[in-house]
Structure 1
Amino acid sequence: MILNYRYRIYPDTQQIELLNEWLETLRVSYNYALRELKDWIASRKCQIDRCSLESQYIMAADYPFPSYHQQQNNLPKAKKKFPRLKAVQSQALQTNLKRLHDSWDSFRKRGYGFPRFKKYGQMKSMLFPQFKTNPLSDWQIQLPKIGKVRINLHRPIPEGFVIKQIRVVKKAVGWFAVIAIQSDLKLPSPVPHGHAIGVDVGLLSYVATSDGYTEDRPKFFKTAYSRLKVLQKRLSRKMKRGKNYEKARIRVAKQHNHIAFKRTDYQFKLAHKLCDLADTIYVEDCDFRIMAKGMLGKHTIDASFGKQRDILEYVARKRDVFVGRVDHRGTSQICPNCRSKVRKDLSVRISDCQECGYVVDRDIASGQEICNRGQETYRGTPEKQEIGSQVVLSENFVLNKWRNSTSVVRGARSISDNGSPHCNNFKAKAIK
């Protein structure tokens, strides 16, 4: 079992200068390795009987592909030629090359996202992958070639866990240490059990559960946009590459960090709240990047639905809560009680079924349908048992109340004594 704990660290002035120098050296070595990789590809992309119309760097035909192991083995020779590399911890250089080739392997697998050169200041982190002894002691952390750095150890390392690696991250608000801890303890994968709910996400109600709980969407970016707009206007008036420009840029970056930290804190609290509500949670298996391409793209990105789902799965696994993904298509167009189609556009916020007369908020109805699909997809037991409608399971459907309301509103429409909303295939029978 591996967990990541993030702590704030406070290096002194000399340590900050050393860390910044290391990050710049890692950026240069990253770009050099990427340049070698691109030159090898460019020298072999033209056909054998003709030359490229563009000028290309020619490599010998027997020159091997600059793989991770080859470039790693060339580091000792590079240190003799470039003494600057000797100042950086050796394993930090190796993991920096590993980052490049992980990006290259991901590009080959996906078919897009070729690694890019990093501009000045874009290298933000370095990794120390191995420690012989425990580097934490008395609110200090021992980093190789840097020394002891003060750390805000706001929560201790759990017993039975050992520190495997530490990533030092530079942000506008300060420096952080992401500590990866490992234990032989193996948590069993959660299975569907106990009370189940379906969770629907949206821009009006951030989450709406099948039990009727709704959470309004917090507008992190919009609330801080007025301050951000002022800072960006001040930045645009500064001369680039100047000291005042750098100070204004850092203020803008700090504001963005403030927004991101507030969003992450809220999403973790919401994930724990949802885990308190149920033992089994079903969510939509949706690619939210498609939503971000529409006219409400800025609000969708601010809501960060994909990150919320990932955080929920992470928190639920630690709390033995099962999280399952179900098909998201048409969840708001189906009545969760009788499972018949109820066509409506986005302007209609109430689900009013003409078949059974079930009336509920559109987002809650979608959450109930998600729960129905989750119970159909993930059966807690091997037996293929017929499940009840989530409307009844969540006790949101009151038969007598429904009869009284429909007799007044619809007049001739009511439910027969033989009909039962406990079956998903139930169809209300109209009595003329």
Structure 2
Amino acid sequence: MLNLTYEYKLIPTDAQRETFDHWLDICRKVYNYALRERKDWVNSRKCDINSCSIRQEYIIPADVPRPTFARQCKTLAEAKKSIPELKRPHTHVLQQVLRQLEAAFVAMWERGHGFPRFKKKMRSFVFPQLNLESVKRFDGADWVNLPKIGLVKMHLSRPIPEGFEVKQIRVVKRASGYYAMLTLQCNVDVPQPMLSGHGVGIDLGLNHFLATSDGELIDSPRFFVDGQRKLKLLQRQLKRKQKGSRKSRQLRHQIAKHHEYISNSRKDFHFKTAHHLCDQGQSIFAEDLNLKAMSSGILCKHTLDAGFGQFLNILSHICFKRGTYFTRVDPNGTSQTCPRCQAHTGKKELSERVHKCSECGYETHRDVAAAQVVLQRGYTAVGHIAVNFGEGK
């Protein structure tokens, strides 16, 4: 089963825009109420059996079961009888909000994520079940048919591939407008790409965005750092405005649009770089970095600006789409190993940008040497004969 997600710009009317905003507000209330219900149940089970907290205590009967997704869906159905506002959004939309909360708790239990937080804003809602004719074209325009909303005009920037069916639609609100993320499904099995052709190892860094084992260095554009000056000016103007005024709302919208512009520029750079790497080789190896640790150090702003996690996910997707083999290898000690003789060269300072082996005399750029070690480890991990690098200049 092959799944794809295509994103299209929506062109709603004023009435449809108000409906989207109202549904998002209702989804936020349902999410926060369900989270409060779960949080109260957890807090009521925290105190000792023979004492209570001096400050406050949650008194919930001991026979009350733990709130789960199924129980909260039943509670939501009963609440619709007394709260007419809950009848406005589609039933599946509100159920997906509760499923999103359940997924947040599962991520906390199984993957070590933090406790779910209350939401000030809801930015999207999902229609999980759609018919085969959700996307239509008539009167020279493209439309998407959303349950209980109707036909919404859409800019079909690229056609939907043949053989794919629309299974799910997520409506996302951003500073530049509303977008529809269509989940497409096709009943085919696509084999994973196999190791073949010319291999390329990449080393990610801050001085250069990445270095390849072929000796190519790609500079980091630093999108957020370059756009920080405009953000400071807008935020300084916002500080002088009265909170809640018309001018204050306009400046907040400008700040949000500038953040979106920075994000889109970074993502566009990641996609173009991924395609460029796929043009260079048929097998790509990258470091399996600990991104959480990298983004909490002294260079956290520049690390987050580079967006290594997003780039590796995009690179994996592009490699799969173009039939290029991709895998990640152990990143430990890549800059302390000679790619020619495998000797341990010791720890290098960040200011030392040249790799020079005292054993064999191999000399090259530090990041290029690390990328060559990544390439060798990738070949070794799949049982392939590792490449040997000759004399460098």
Q: TM-score, normalised by structure 1?
A: 0.87
What aligned pairs does 1:119-138 form with structure 2 within 5 A after superposition?
119=120, 122-138=121-137
Aligned residue number for residue 2 of structure 1: 3
Letter paired with 2:171: V
Aligned residue number for residue 235 of structure 2: 232
Using the alignment, how far apart are the partners of 1:76 and 1:299 within structure 2? Answer: 47
Aligned residue for 2:209, secondary structure, equals: strand
Aligned residue number for residue 21 of structure 1: 22
Aligned residue number for residue 358 of structure 2: 354
Using the alignment, how far apart are the partners of 2:220 and 2:247 within structure 1? Answer: 37
Aligned residue for 1:269, secondary structure, equals: helix
Q: Is the 8 A contact 2:202 2:286 kept in 1?
A: yes
Structure with bigger gyration radius = 1
Aligned residue number for residue 97 of structure 2: 96
Aligned residue number for residue 143 of structure 2: 140
What aligned pairs does 1:44-59 form with structure 2 within 5 A after superposition?
44-59=45-60
Q: Is the 8 A contact 2:5 2:183 kept in 1?
A: yes
> Once the 2 structures are TM-superposed, how far is the Cα of residue 111 of structure 1 from its aligned partner?
4.1
Aligned residue number for residue 276 of structure 2: 273
Using the alignment, how far apart are the partners of 1:93 and 1:379 within structure 2? Answer: 50
Superposed CA deviations along residues 19-46 of structure 1, whole A, max 9, x for unmatched, are: 1011001111111111111111122222
Aligned residue number for residue 69 of structure 2: 68
Using the alignment, how far apart are the partners of 1:221 and 1:38 within structure 2? Answer: 36
Superposed CA deviations along residues 229-275 of structure 1, whole A, max 9, x for unmatched, are: 11111111112222222211111010000000000011011111111
Letter paired with 1:18: T
Letter paired with 1:236: K
Aligned residue for 1:141, secondary structure, equals: strand
Aligned residue number for residue 319 of structure 1: 322
Aligned residue number for residue 296 of structure 2: 293
Aligned residue number for residue 42 of structure 1: 43
Aligned residue for 1:275, secondary structure, equals: helix
Using the alignment, how far apart are the partners of 1:144 and 1:234 within structure 2? Answer: 42
Q: Among 260, 263, 286, which residue is 1:260 paired with?
A: 263
Letter paired with 1:125: S
Superposed CA deviations along residues 312-351 of structure 1, whole A, max 9, x for unmatched, are: 0111111111111111111111111111122321111111
> Once the 2 structures are TM-superposed, how far is the Cα of residue 132 of structure 1 from its aligned partner?
2.1
Aligned residue number for residue 430 of structure 1: none
Q: Comparing 174-183 with 216-225, which one deviates more in the overlay?
A: 216-225
Superposed CA deviations along residues 52-106 of structure 1, whole A, max 9, x for unmatched, are: 3332332222211111001101222101111100111110010011111111111
Do residues 223 (structure 1) and 222 (structure 2) align? no
Aligned residue number for residue 197 of structure 1: 200
Letter paired with 2:286: V
> Once the 2 structures are TM-superposed, how far is the Cα of residue 112 of structure 1 from its aligned partner?
4.2
Aligned residue number for residue 371 of structure 1: 375
Superposed CA deviations along residues 186-234 of structure 1, whole A, max 9, x for unmatched, are: 1111222211111011112211110112211112112212211111111
Q: Among 161, 165, 168, which residue is 1:165 paired with?
A: 168
Using the alignment, how far apart are the partners of 1:55 and 1:341 within structure 2? Answer: 59
Aligned residue number for residue 105 of structure 1: 106
Q: Among 287, 295, 318, which residue is 1:284 paired with?
A: 287
Superposed CA deviations along residues 142-165 of structure 1, whole A, max 9, x for unmatched, are: 111111111111111111110010
Q: Among 154, 167, 173, which residue is 1:151 paired with?
A: 154
Q: Comparing 200-209 with 292-301, which one deviates more in the overlay?
A: 292-301
Q: Comparing 347-356 with 50-59, which one deviates more in the overlay?
A: 50-59
> Once the 2 structures are TM-superposed, how far is the Cα of residue 175 of structure 1 from its aligned partner?
0.6
Letter paired with 2:114: G
| Unaligned runs of at least 5 residues, structure 1 | 381-385, 392-396, 406-432
Letter paired with 1:134: E
Q: Is the 8 A contact 1:199 1:367 kept in 2?
A: yes
Using the alignment, how far apart are the partners of 1:288 and 1:60 within structure 2? Answer: 43
Q: Is the 8 A contact 2:336 2:345 kept in 1?
A: yes
Q: Among 334, 338, 345, which residue is 2:337 paired with?
A: 334
Q: TM-score, normalised by structure 2?
A: 0.95
Using the alignment, how far apart are the partners of 1:314 and 1:154 within structure 2? Answer: 20
Letter paired with 1:153: L
Q: Is the 8 A contact 1:192 1:379 kept in 2?
A: no
Do residues 388 (structure 1) and 387 (structure 2) align? yes
Aligned residue number for residue 416 of structure 1: none
Aligned residue for 1:42, secondary structure, equals: helix
Q: Comparing 342-351 with 157-166, which one deviates more in the overlay?
A: 342-351
Using the alignment, how far apart are the partners of 1:376 and 1:112 within structure 2? Answer: 33
Q: Among 214, 225, 229, which residue is 1:211 paired with?
A: 214
Aligned residue for 2:327, secondary structure, equals: strand
Q: Is the 8 A contact 2:209 2:219 kept in 1?
A: yes
| Unaligned runs of at least 5 residues, structure 2 | none
Q: Is the 8 A contact 1:334 1:369 kept in 2?
A: yes
Aligned residue number for residue 349 of structure 2: 345
CA RMSD of aligned residues (A): 1.4
Using the alignment, how far apart are the partners of 1:267 and 1:135 within structure 2? Answer: 31
Residues 239/174 of structure 1: CA separation in 2 closer, same or farther (3 Å cut): same
Using the alignment, how far apart are the partners of 2:332 and 2:239 within structure 1? Answer: 44
Using the alignment, how far apart are the partners of 1:100 and 1:242 within structure 2? Answer: 33
Using the alignment, how far apart are the partners of 1:356 and 1:272 within structure 2? Answer: 35
Q: Is the 8 A contact 1:284 1:370 kept in 2?
A: yes
How many residues end up aligned between the 2 structures? 387
Q: Is the 8 A contact 2:132 2:165 kept in 1?
A: no
